Structure 1
Amino acid sequence: MSALFNTYARRPIALVEGKGTIVKDQNGKEYLDFTSGIAVLSLGHAHPELVKALREQSEKIWHTSNLFQAPWQEKLAESLVKDTHFSYAFFCNSGAEANEAAIKLARKHTGKHHIITFKQSFHGRTFGSMSATGQEKIQKGFGPMLEKFTYLPFNDVDALRNAVDDSVAAIMLEVIQGEGGVNPVTDEFAEAIQEICSQSDILLIVDEVQTGIGRTGSRFAFEQTPLKPDIISLAKGLGGGFPIAAILGTKELYDTFGPGSHGTTFGGNPLGVAVAQKVIDIVFQPEFLNEVKKKSEYFIDKLKEAFPDGEFKVKGKGLLLGLESENEVGEYIGKLEEAGLLVCPAGTKVLRLLPPLTVKYEEIDDAVAILKKVLSRK
C-alpha cells in the first residue's frame, strides 16, 4: 500500500536512469523517452553541462531569500528578455504559478477581472490557473471557480469578436494547446486577437509553459505567429528538468508589480537559475534552434510516410507533435511502452510526441518504426 495520494494514474514502471533520450526502468529495460517529462527535459536526461552547472552552484549557495539582491536572477532575466519587446521577468517554481502570476498582474494592471480563455486549454491546477482552464474535467468537484473567466471556441474569430467588451482585462491562450489535443492557433485567429488587444485596453497573455524555450524551433512559440503578448509564462523546458518558471512582461507593467504585490519563497533560487541559465545559453543559439526546425521537418515527413492513409493525422509544430486518430488512443500507450517507446496522450484521441530537443535523427527513425509497428496492428 502506497503512502502517496492517488492523484496520478501512474504507469507500472519506475524510470531510474537516463542519458539523452534513453531511459532505463527498475528492471534495466531501456526506452526511447518521447515524453521528456512532458516537454521538460529540453536537453535530455543528465546533460553534462547542466549537471556541471548544478554541481558547481550546489557547492556555493543553495538558497537565499528574495529579500536580498539576486545577481543570478538579474543575469537570467536579461538573457530571457534580450532582443525581445519584453523588459522584465519574475521567477517562480512551476507553470501553474507562472500563470497565476500572469493573471494577478493583468487584473491588477487593468483594474478589471474578466479574462477570456479558450475551450480545451490547460493553464494549471491552482484555483486561478484552473479557473482559466477551459476543460470541465479539470474543474469538476472543486466548487465555484474564480470569477470571471469566459471560455470560447479556439480559433473561432466570430465568437471572439462577439465576446469582447469593456469588461475584459486580458485574453489568455496557448499558441499550441498541448493537453487539449496539440491544437495550433491559426494565423487568422492570432491576427484577430492581436488586433483586438492593440485597439482596446486588453492585455494579451500567452501561456508558453509547454511551447517555450525552443520547443517549436524558436525561443518562444509566439515569435512564429502575429501575436505580440504583454505577458508570457514559462516553465517546463526552462530548467531542463530542474524546477523553475517565470513570467516575462513589458515595461508598461513594471510599476504594477511593486514590492509586496507578489512573491515566492523558492522562486529564482540559485540552483534553478544556474541550470536555467545554461539551458538558455545553449538553446537560444540560432544554430541550435535551426536544428530543432530541421529535426521537426524530418520527424513530420517520417510520420507522414509511416501513416500515408490518413488513419493518423500529424499535428503540431517543432518537437511538440501529435498523432490524431478518429478513435481513442489510450490503449496504444501501454503497447508502445512495451515496445520501448514512451509517449503521452493529449486528450483522448491524440498521441503526443515530445522528444528532447537534442534527439538524434536515428532515434526519430527508431521511434517512427515502433509507432508504425504498434499503431498498424488491427
Structure 2
Amino acid sequence: MPGFSTNAIHAGYEPDSLYGAINPPIYASTTFAQDDLAVTRNGYEYTRVGNPTITALEKAVAALEGSAYAVAFASGMAAIDTVLRVVLKPGDHIVIGSDAYGGTYRLIQQIFTQWGVENSVVNMTDVGAVQAALRPNTKAIWVETPTNPALDIVDIAAIADIKGQATLVVDNTFASPYLQRPCEFGADIVVHSTTKYIGGHSDVVGGVVCGNTPELEEQLRFFFGWVGAIPSPFDTYLSGRGLKTLAVRMERHCDNAEAVATFLDAQDAVARVCYPGLESHPGHEVAARQMKRFGAMVSVVFHTEEQAVTFCRSTKLFCLAESLGGVESLVEHPATMTHLAVEGSALAVPRELVRISVGIEDEADLIADLEQALAVVAAGAKGAQASLSS
C-alpha cells in the first residue's frame, strides 16, 4: 500500500490519456456531452451532481483518511450541515462536546432545535458523562479532537465503545488526516473543513465528509446534488494542490507549535498553555496514542482578559485574524471572534483565552514576536499595578 505522501500526490488521478497533464485539469464546465439519450460519458452529466476535478479531490482525501469514500462540499459548514441532515430527523437527539466550534453549535441550537432535534452538551473527555447523556433517541455523537479552542483531547475509541446505535461523527479539522485517522478508532463519519490544513494556504473555502457505508454515501450524494452545496472545480483544484504538500507542511507546523508551546509554558505572564504535546496536558497520553504528532494549534490562558486582548493586539508576525491551518501564523480572541455566537451558553469560551494557529515561518522569528508581545503585556500589567498602588 502506498505511503501517505505518495497517496497525497498521486491518489485520485492519473495523467490523462489525451494530453498527459500531470495535475488534474480544472473542468470548468457545467454540463457534459452524452453519448446517447441518458447515456453519460464516464458518469458525468452536470457539475452539480459530479465533476472530474471534484472526484479527484474526493478520492485523494478518502485514500488519506483510510475511508471508502469522501464527498466534497462548498465549505466546512456545508459539510457539517449535510451530515446533520443525513443522521438526524425531528425527534432525534444529539450529544455535542462542551468545547466545540461555535458555528457547529449555533447550527444545531438555532436551526436544528427548531426542527425538533434535541441536544445535550457534555464534556467529551469524560466518557462516563457521555454515556450518561445517551438516550433511546440519541442518533449522533459529535466529537472534535483536539477541541476548538481549548485543545482538549477526546478518546475516540472509548466513545466508539459506548455509542450504541448512535452515529459517531469526528470533526478532524484540527488534526488533519496526516496526524489522525478517526475511522481507525471507530468513527462512523469524519468531517473536515478543507479550508484549513488540507488547503493550507488561506486561499480556498471547502469541506469534505468521509465514511465507509454505501448507504451513507448515497445520502450524502443526494444532498450534494439536490441541495447543491457543491464546491467549484477551481476550489477543489486548489484544495487538491494543497493536499499534495500536507505531510511536509504538518511536520513543520508541528515543529513550530511544539517550540511555541514550550516557550509560552515558561512565561510568568501566561497562566496556562493548552497544547496536547505538553506532558502536563490532561489528554497527552490519549493524544500520543491516537495522533501521529500533536498538531499546530496552541491556546494560551492569560491571568486576565485585558492581558489576552493586549497580547492579540501586540503581535506583529502573528496576524490577528480568524481561521487557521494556513502557512502563516495567526492569533485570535475566541470569546469575541470565532466563538462569539456561544457567549452565554454552555460552550462559552474563557475570555482570558487566546488561540494561536502556528504557521511554518522560521521558529526564531515566531519566538521573537511572542517575546515582544509578552513584553507589552508585562508592561501593561506593571502599569496597572502601579496605578493601583498610587
Same fold (TM over 0.5): yes
d(CA) in 2 for partners of 1:251, 1:234: 18
Aligned to 2:271: 312
Q: Secondary structure at the match of 2:96?
A: strand
User: Is 1:272 equivalent to 2:235 in the alignment?
Assistant: yes
Out of 362, 365, 368, the position equivalent to 1:366 is 368
| Deviation per residue, 1:333-367 (Å, 9 max, x gap) | 563157975320133121111133x3221332223
Paired letter, 1:118: G
Shift of residue 212, structure 1, vs aligned partner: 4.4
Superposed, 1:119-198 pairs within 5 Å as 119-122=98-101, 124=103, 130-132=106-108, 144=114, 146-178=116-148, 181-187=149-155, 190-197=156-163
User: Is 1:297 equivalent to 2:252 in the alignment?
Assistant: no
Aligned to 1:248: 210
Out of 199, 208, 219, the position equivalent to 1:257 is 219
Q: What TM-score do you get using the length of structure 1 for normalisation?
A: 0.67
| Deviation per residue, 1:152-199 (Å, 9 max, x gap) | 234223221212233211100211222xx4231244xx44312113xx
Q: 5+ residue gaps in structure 1?
A: 1-55, 134-138
Q: Secondary structure at the match of 1:375?
A: helix
| Deviation per residue, 1:22-53 (Å, 9 max, x gap) | xxxxxxxxxxxxxxxxxxxxxxxxxxxxxxxx
Aligned to 1:15: none
Out of 325, 348, 352, the position equivalent to 1:349 is 352
Q: Which aligned segments of 4 or more residues in structure 1 are displaced greater than 6 angstroms?
A: none
Superposed, 1:208-219 pairs within 5 Å as 208-209=172-173, 211-213=174-176, 219=178
Structure 1 residues 233 and 61: CA distance shift in structure 2, 3 A: same
Aligned to 1:205: 169
User: Is 1:118 equivalent to 2:121 in the alignment?
Assistant: no
Structure 1 residues 281 and 247: CA distance shift in structure 2, 3 A: same
d(CA) in 2 for partners of 1:170, 1:242: 29
The answer to whether the 8 A contact 1:63-1:270 is kept is no
Pairwise CA RMSD? 3.5
Shift of residue 96, structure 1, vs aligned partner: 1.6
Q: Secondary structure at the match of 1:183?
A: coil
The answer to whether the 8 A contact 2:75-2:206 is kept is yes
Q: What TM-score do you get using the length of structure 2 for normalisation?
A: 0.65
The answer to whether the 8 A contact 1:175-1:208 is kept is yes
Paired letter, 2:165: D
d(CA) in 2 for partners of 1:327, 1:130: 27
The answer to whether the 8 A contact 2:144-2:172 is kept is yes
Shift of residue 113, structure 1, vs aligned partner: 2.5
| Deviation per residue, 1:268-316 (Å, 9 max, x gap) | 3111011001111111x3x4433333222222222223x1x47331113
Larger-gyration structure (1/2): 2
Paired letter, 2:150: V
d(CA) in 2 for partners of 1:366, 1:124: 33
Identity of aligned residues (%): 15
d(CA) in 1 for partners of 2:211, 2:108: 19
The answer to whether the 8 A contact 2:71-2:221 is kept is no
User: Is 1:66 equivalent to 2:47 in the alignment?
Assistant: yes
Shift of residue 226, structure 1, vs aligned partner: 7.9
Paired letter, 2:205: P
Aligned to 2:340: none
Q: 5+ residue gaps in structure 2?
A: 1-23, 32-45, 276-293, 321-330, 335-348, 382-390
The answer to whether the 8 A contact 2:145-2:171 is kept is yes
The answer to whether the 8 A contact 1:131-1:145 is kept is no
* Deviates further, 326-335 or 239-248: 326-335
Superposed, 1:78-89 pairs within 5 Å as 78-89=59-70
The answer to whether the 8 A contact 2:170-2:187 is kept is yes
